[in-house]
């Protein structure tokens, strides 16, 4: 009797352990596929513990390619009992045809049952009716380091596809540039018509040697026909792998920057100068480099300022580079890189300045030859403001001398005493005038107004020549308040409304736009200053009335009026 109870006990324990060692549900969907189709292994297990186990799918790698593993945990209520259902969906792609065994998978302490997937071969007859394949090519396959390589991926199919995803090829030590939207067209292969989805990728290898380009792949759904001759299936296709032989730069290349391109052009634009350059002025230069078959990131910045030692060997000018602007765009299935950069040339000495030409060497990958593009030099004539002022004084003296044939030497001896006494009389009159306070205050206010006007014009000129829009606006408002003292000038639009010069209105609008732009350095103020200097000067308006005087308590009335009372 004791042995009988012991046998029942061990049987119950064994049956309980055996039940717990098997997953509750594991199945395939579908159980039969065609070579190249995707099957899905689904595992479900119910438990009181709300957790998901990590699956080890390495046992599937022998006969299958594991594409994706998705897991989900759901709360289920059945027969007034709450439990948690764990679910795993594993997408597998058979590596070959035949009856492939899916071995048991470990789920925590449990094992899934072994399953069998029937994989039918893709026969030539079936391939001709339901053909989907990928092509990949690289142009060229032996690029130089830094040279652009076009990778072309084509998906060809003669049946409708849906919910597809084209995965691009990849390579290490390379930069990728996408061309945008895929192109679609129809082509004929071996007498059969195919729909084509083509994608172009530009890559630039960073290291020489053999570089493997991984296969491109496509995952999608074959749509079923209306007559049911084609069943809906999930498919996976991949292309062949490519091997790029990346070359080093040729030893005969002598350029400072390695620039392998199909075409490279360089151009420059100098800002216009209304009058001659003076010492301390700055002149703007815009440099543009465009390349075909080379991304903008590879183009050299600071091309002119990099040779500043060569340019400034006579210390006649300095060159300052602004932040460059780079852009890439596709034209005719080719990548076009563009670099734009502004430079400021500040002259420091008068005389004739020769800015030498700039040469840029690059490598023509179409003909495997070194080429050179060149920026033309420029000759500048810089004048000295002190020399100009002396010259103007000489011209003024010459005009005064021409007023009289004998000049100032016509004064006779008998009226020389007048010229000696006249300065003394003037000093005496000025001294007496300053003794009177109202006269002294009036002269002081007028003198302060003249000095303020001069300071304003000097500061305004400096702000415009230095291309400083914020300082120019501040001094312009002061200038407007002095020109129209009766108006409350507090904005550039008020100056625009009062001036009669259309050219000045345009320059004020450019200044206003520069104040709210992201880059203020693009504004050039030399033209604005020339227009302001040409404006007729207004006379200083110093009020004769003291600043601290109060209005009369009783206004003076006309003596001709009489008050009549009744």
**Phi (first) and psi of residue 489, to 5 degrees:** -85, 115
In the prediction, which pLDDT does 370 show?
Answer: 94
Query: Which tens digit of pLDDT belongs to each residue from 160-215?
Result: 888 788 888 887 778 888 776 888 999 998 888 899 999 988 888 888 988 888 88
Q: Contact 344/284 with Cβ under 8 angstroms?
A: yes
C-alpha span between 543 and 43 (Å, rounded): 98
Query: Which tens digit of pLDDT belongs to each residue from 70-119?
Result: 888 777 777 777 777 788 888 888 988 889 888 888 877 778 888 888 88
Q: Is the pLDDT of residue 329 over 60?
A: yes
Written as one string, the DSSP assignment of 485-512 is: TTS---SHHHHHHH---HHHHHHHHHHH
- SS3 of residue 249 by DSSP: coil
**Phi (first) and psi of residue 430, to 5 degrees:** -65, -40
Query: Which tens digit of pLDDT belongs to each residue from 202-252?
Result: 888 888 988 888 889 898 888 766 554 556 788 888 888 888 899 999 999
Q: Contact 376/269 with Cβ under 8 angstroms?
A: no
Half-sphere exposure of 202 (CA within 13 A, CB side): 21
Cβ neighbours of residue 223 closer than 8 Å, sequence gap 6 or more: 159, 160, 161, 162, 230, 232
Q: Contact 274/171 with Cβ under 8 angstroms?
A: no
C-alpha span between 481 and 484 (Å, rounded): 5
Nearest to 326 by CA among 284, 346, 301, 296: 296
* Count of residues in the chain: 566
- Residues in a beta bridge with 267: 288
C-alpha span between 283 and 388 (Å, rounded): 20
Q: Is the pLDDT of residue 123 over 70?
A: yes
- Inter-CA distances, 406 with 170, 402, 411, Å: 94, 9, 9
Nearest to 221 by CA among 206, 237, 232, 209: 232
* Cα radius of gyration (the chain): 45
Residue 468: Cβ-neighbour burial (10 angstroms; 0-12, 13-18, 19+): middle
Query: What is the pLDDT of the chain when averaged over all its residues?
Result: 76
In the prediction, which pLDDT does 5 show?
Answer: 47
C-alpha span between 52 and 71 (Å, rounded): 8
C-alpha span between 110 and 107 (Å, rounded): 5
Q: Mean of the pLDDT values across residues 44-63?
A: 77
In the prediction, which pLDDT does 535 show?
Answer: 79
Q: Is the pLDDT of residue 493 over 50?
A: yes
C-alpha span between 325 and 191 (Å, rounded): 50
pLDDT bin (cut points 50, 70, 90) of residue 6 is very low
% of the chain exceeding 90 in pLDDT:
14
Nearest to 92 by CA among 112, 70, 73, 107: 70
Element (H, E) at 417: helix 416-435
Q: Mean of the pLDDT values across residues 295-305?
A: 86
The pTM for the full model equals 0.57
pLDDT bin (cut points 50, 70, 90) of residue 531 is confident
Q: Contact 101/114 with Cβ under 8 angstroms?
A: yes
């Amino acid at each position: 009797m004791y042995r009988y109870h012991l046998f029942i006990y061990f049987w119950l324990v064994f049956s309980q352990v055996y039940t717990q060692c098997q997953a509750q549900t594991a199945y395939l969907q579908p159980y039969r596929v065609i070579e190249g189709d995707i099957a899905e292994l689904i595992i479900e297990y119910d438990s009181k513990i709300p957790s998901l186990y990590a699956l080890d799918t390495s046992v599937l790698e022998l006969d299958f390619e594991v594409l994706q593993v998705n897991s989900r945990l759901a709360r289920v209520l059945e027969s007034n009992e709450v439990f948690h259902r764990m679910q795993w969906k594993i997408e597998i792609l058979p590596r070959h045809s035949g009856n492939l065994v899916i071995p048991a998978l470990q789920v925590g302490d449990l094992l899934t049952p072994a399953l069998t997937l029937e994989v039918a071969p893709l026969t030539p007859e079936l391939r001709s009716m339901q053909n989907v394949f990928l092509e990949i090519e690289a142009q060229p396959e032996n690029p130089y380091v830094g040279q652009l390589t076009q990778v072309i991926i084509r998906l060809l199919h003669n049946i409708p596809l849906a919910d597809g995803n084209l995965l691009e090829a990849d390579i290490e030590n390379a930069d990728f540039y996408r061309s945008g939207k895929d192109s679609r067209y129809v082509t004929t292969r071996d007498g059969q018509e195919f729909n084509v989805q083509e994608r172009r990728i530009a890559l630039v290898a960073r290291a020489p040697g053999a570089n493997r380009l991984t296969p491109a792949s496509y995952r999608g759904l074959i749509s079923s026909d209306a007559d049911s001759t084609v069943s809906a299936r999930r498919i996976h296709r991949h292309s062949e792998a490519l091997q790029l032989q990346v070359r080093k730069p040729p030893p005969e290349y002598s350029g400072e920057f390695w620039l392998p391109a199909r075409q490279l052009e360089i151009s420059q634009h100098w800002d216009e100068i209304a009058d001659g350059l003076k010492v301390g002025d700055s002149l703007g230069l815009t440099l543009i480099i465009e390349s075909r078959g080379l991304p903008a990131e590879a183009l050299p910045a600071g091309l002119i300022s990099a040779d500043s030692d060569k340019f400034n060997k006579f210390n006649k000018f300095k060159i300052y580079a602004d932040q460059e602007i780079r852009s890439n765009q596709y034209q005719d299935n080719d990548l076009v890189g563009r670099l734009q950069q502004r430079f400021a040339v500040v002259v420091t000495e008068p005389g004739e300045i020769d800015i030498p030409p700039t040469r840029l060497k690059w490598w023509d990958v179409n003909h495997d030859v070194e080429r050179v593009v060149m920026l033309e030099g420029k000759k500048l004539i810089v004048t000295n403001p002190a020399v100009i002022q002396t010259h103007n004084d000489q011209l003024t003296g010459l005009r005064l001398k021409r007023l009289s044939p004998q000049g100032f030497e016509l004064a006779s001896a008998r009226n020389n005493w007048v010229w000696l006494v006249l300065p003394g009389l003037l000093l005496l009159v000025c001294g007496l005038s300053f003794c009177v306070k109202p006269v002294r205050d009036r002269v002081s206010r007028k003198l302060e107004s003249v000095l303020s006007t001069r300071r304003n014009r000097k500061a305004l000129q400096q702000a415009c020549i230095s291309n400083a829009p914020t300082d120019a606006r501040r001094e312009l408002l002061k200038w407007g308040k002095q020109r129209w003292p009766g108006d409350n000038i507090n904005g550039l639009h008020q100056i625009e409304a009062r001036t009669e010069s259309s050219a000045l209105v345009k320059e004020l609008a450019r200044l206003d736009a520069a104040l709210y732009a992201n880059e203020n350095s693009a504004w050039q103020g030399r033209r604005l200053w020339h227009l302001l200097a040409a404006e007729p000067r207004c006379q200083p308006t110093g009020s004769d009335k003291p600043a601290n005087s109060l209005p009369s308590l009783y206004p003076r009335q006309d003596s001709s009026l009489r008050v009549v009372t009744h």
